[in-house]
Structure 1
């Protein structure tokens, strides 16, 4: 599987009404988006994958990411096989270790040795009755060791909450072959105050997770940037402005080595499907 162009990363497609998600998925494919990415923070993720695959004909459906602590590898391999048997090679399995505060909240001490846990999970996918092909899986990789694992046990990386500068460094680490598929959060507004009102608390919640905070520190941001959600950090992580500004940021990722960029549109109502924004951005892509 090789993925290019622009996709959509959407919690609404995952956790919203299934009928509306299917209708939105069909429209997103018609608008030209190449992939539909959904998160996994609990609940029947494969039901959502199947719903989106059934609603589309060509678009890739990807998990961004499948939380490996919440699934048994044998079950994942079986569900992957069933989905691809029915819908063809359109299911990209993004896999990740999530974050210690989230995993340990229900079972203290469970989150340990994330690199080893990921490697073991992937090896069990290989050993399943119907293995998940290496070319159909990518890893949520931020650190150098996980990026390296993305080249040996997967078909690349799906980094989240990153800048084009990070994309360039990730491409150097991955080399030319593996896919690099970053997520880019956007707010379609030319009003900074509105962008801040929509995005600041959303971003602050992620900055409390050590994996993201540490990656930003490695990327040259300061602890004060993180603690205050500085303008410098906000503008680097969230692309806001008109359609041209959004696509300019996407182009920066592509120029830095990304094969595909999935945009996550933030709206004043976090549960609403941002269908107007998706249409406006698609129209600007041309």
Structure 2
């Protein structure tokens, strides 16, 4: 565990039940002035947190630098917790990762969570452990008194074990409720469990499922790697993961339908052991995404 102390129960209380996750590409194509207005709107709707991700250094996908973007989120709001989901370890060395996180945590006490991930290569767990070692070493030299929660983008059992030993919890991306239950069992009761949930307020099955398929390409399946291996552990087969993705798979990772359908799926993660669920509306722009969140807010926060 990092040398800095974090009161995990206090973090739980600050977060509440539901937060928001916005796609990096959505933020890349949204002017910062518009972002500020929509971030303040998300806070006013009662959501407890606001997150985005960061693609790896060699990715063709665009994205804004994580600490700069999340600094905009913090500056545009007053109370909401802001988290990186995730800051990619291929984009900065461990000392820079710690320094960036500690700076935001010092500037906005109690409002910043660092989620990290993106380990690659033949020994991803060894890479991750070494990276955490580097962060902990930096914490003894740079802004050493500044504490912030640190989470891992864990999917499989081994990464959950690292998270339980070395961090304050996990932030799994695009996982069904069954994964949330498994994650809580692996972590035990204390660490934070903050899953991501795709959603689309649309009762037309073809439209909703097509929105997720477009993320991967209309004829593509799920790329090989950690995500595919993890879904196989959950009982999905190549028939689900290849050739456009099966309806069974789509319905497991996407909450779609009317407001009651979305709320039911979101609450299912809480019942399975999540502390806080990050809702990711699929929409053509940031304002449209927040429009969906506004429709859901009265049911989620009652």
Does the pair score TM above 0.5?
A: yes
Q: CA deviation at 1:224?
A: 0.6
Q: 1:207 aligns to what SS in structure 2?
A: coil
Aligned to 1:235: 251
In the TM superposition, 1:102-121 aligns within 5 A as: 111-121=121-131
Q: Determine if contact 1:156/1:179 at 8 Å carries over to the other structure.
A: yes
2:92 corresponds to which of 71, 90, 101: 71
Query: What are the superposed Cα offsets for residues 172-230 of structure 1, whole Å, 9 maximum, x if unpaired?
Result: 00000001000000111111121123222225667114111111111001111111411
- More helix by percentage: 1
Q: Is the 8 A contact 2:114 2:148 kept in 1?
A: no
- 1:9 corresponds in structure 2 to 21
Provide the secondary structure at the position in 1 that maps to 2:54.
Answer: coil
SS at structure 2 position matched to 1:40: coil
Which one of the candidate residues 197, 201, 209 is aligned to 1:184?
197
Q: CA deviation at 1:273?
A: 4.4
How is 1:35-114 mapped onto 2 (pairs within 5 angstroms)?
35-41=49-55, 42-97=63-118, 100=120, 111-114=121-124
C-alpha RMSD over aligned residues: 2.0
Instruction: Judge conservation of contact 2:17–2:276 (CA < 8 Å) in 1.
Output: yes
Q: Distance in 2 between matches of 1:270 and 1:5?
A: 25
Q: TM-score normalised to the size of structure 1?
A: 0.90
CA distance in 2, matches of 1:189, 1:132: 47
How far the C-alpha of 1:263 sits from its partner, in A, is: 0.8
Matches within 5 A, 1:120-199: 120-128=130-138, 129-131=142-144, 136-199=149-212
Alpha-carbon spacing, 1:132–1:24, altered in 2? closer, same or farther (3 Å): farther
1-structure distance, mates of 2:221, 2:169: 23
Q: Does 1:29 align with 2:43?
A: yes
Q: Quick check: 1:206–1:212 contact (8 Å CA) kept in 2?
A: no
TM-score by length of 2: 0.85
State the Cα distance separating 1:119 from its structure 2 match. Answer: 1.1
Structure 2 contact 199–256 (Cα < 8 Å) conserved:
yes
Deviation at 1:92, TM superposition (A): 0.4
Residues 259, 295 of structure 2: 8 Å contact kept: yes
Q: Which residue does 1:103 correspond to in 2?
A: none
3-state secondary structure, aligned to 2:208: helix
Residue matched to 2:4 = none
Dislocated runs of 4+, deviation >3 Å: 131-135, 203-206, 270-273
Structure 2 unaligned runs (5+)?
Answer: 1-10, 56-62
1:13-59: CA deviation from partner (whole Å, max 9, x where unpaired): 64222111111111101101111011112542111111110111111
Gaps of 5+ in 1: 101-110
